[in-house]
Amino acid sequence: MVDFAPVRRVLTANLPLSSSCDATSSSQPAVAVYSENLPSPDLKELLQLGASCSNTSIFAHAKVPTSNDGFKNVQPEQVPPPGIYMPAGVHITCTQAAPGFSAPLHRTTSTDYIFVHSGELTLITPSTEYDADKGQGELQETICRAGDVIVQRGTMHGWANKGTEVVQYFAVMVGSEAVSTEINRTDSRHILPDWFPRPVERVRDP
């Protein structure tokens, strides 16, 4: 088990203006700043990912555009099972994974922006048509390093840490329209629903 560092979330909110302000005033409200260390529990045994790994939910919005109303007890929306993405909104996470970590191929109905902060992250994707149920098809690997940004557009993908140090990456997952692809020499499209290799349980407290 690895003792991963907590993720510090700094959240801001507009405070109410004084009663002396009117609708045409150029006065700007004071800003409340809330800081909190979010736990990063080791999920190795729960998810069977080959090595120690943590996945911290930083914040979630139920819809886009988001709402910035409120300043007391501002909390993220609850992400529906399996706790990965928000179908019509946004979910921001931080993953830390030790060498040997491997997440199997899967797909979500979302557009994901992955920012590699430290270490090396291996992106695994099919290079030929892939039978997900049988696990048959050729795969390709793309090494992503600190500073790289991955734009993941509803494709089948997996992750691995084949390096020698812990990799840390942040994900901004935005719920997308239904994913589909063209079928050659036809006018048809093939719908590509969410796909996971096995039932995935929710791994975060509600």
Model confidence at 160: pLDDT above 60: yes
Residues 6+ apart with CB under 8 A from 21: 27
CA 198 to chain CA mean position, Å: 19
CA proximity to 82, closest of 205, 184, 201: 201
Is there a domain that residue 51 lies in?
A: yes
Exposure class string for 181-202: b at 16+ Cβ within 10 A, else e: eeeeeeeeeeebebeeeeeeee
Burial-class residue 48 by CB neighbours within 10 Å (0-12, 13-18, 19+): exposed
Lowest mean pLDDT among 34-48, 50-64, 87-101, 116-130: 34-48
Instruction: Indicate the pLDDT class of residue 198, thresholds 50, 70 and 90.
Output: low
Q: In this predicted structure, what is the pLDDT of residue 44?
A: 78
- Average pLDDT over the chain reads 91
- Quote the CA–CA distance of 148 and 143 in Å, as a whole number: 10
Is there a domain that residue 29 lies in?
A: no
CA distances from 42 to 4, 26, 98, 120, 181 (A): 7, 48, 10, 19, 36
Strands 110-118 and 149-153: antiparallel
Is there a domain that residue 205 lies in?
A: no
**Residues 53-72, mean pLDDT to the nearest whole number:** 96
Q: In this predicted structure, what is the pLDDT of residue 45?
A: 74
Which tens digit of pLDDT belongs to each residue from 9-29? 999 999 999 888 877 778 899
Is there a domain that residue 107 lies in?
A: yes
Output the CA angle 170-98-50, nearest 5 degrees: 110
Q: In this predicted structure, what is the pLDDT of residue 41?
A: 85
Which tens digit of pLDDT belongs to each residue from 26-39? 889 999 999 999 98
Q: Going edge to edge, which strands form the sheet with 90-97?
A: 53-61, 90-97, 167-175, 110-118, 149-153
CA 123 to chain CA mean position, Å: 14
Q: Which residues pair with 141 in a beta bridge?
A: 124
Q: In this predicted structure, what is the pLDDT of residue 25?
A: 77
- Contact, 117 vs 95, CB < 8 A? no
The domain containing residue 143 runs over which residues? Answer: 41-191
Tokens 């796909």 correspond to 195
- Contact, 90 vs 61, CB < 8 A? yes
Instruction: Indicate the pLDDT class of residue 69, thresholds 50, 70 and 90.
Output: very high
Model confidence at 204: pLDDT above 70: no
- Global pTM value: 0.89
Q: In this predicted structure, what is the pLDDT of residue 51?
A: 83
Is there a domain that residue 3 lies in?
A: no
Residues 6+ apart with CB under 8 A from 178: 109, 191, 193
Total structural domains within the chain? 1
Model confidence at 94: pLDDT above 80: yes
Which tens digit of pLDDT belongs to each residue from 126-147? 999 999 989 999 999 999 999 9
187 versus 151: the higher-pLDDT residue is 151
Is there a domain that residue 13 lies in?
A: no
State the DSSP code for 73.
S
Is there a domain that residue 163 lies in?
A: yes
Is there a domain that residue 56 lies in?
A: yes
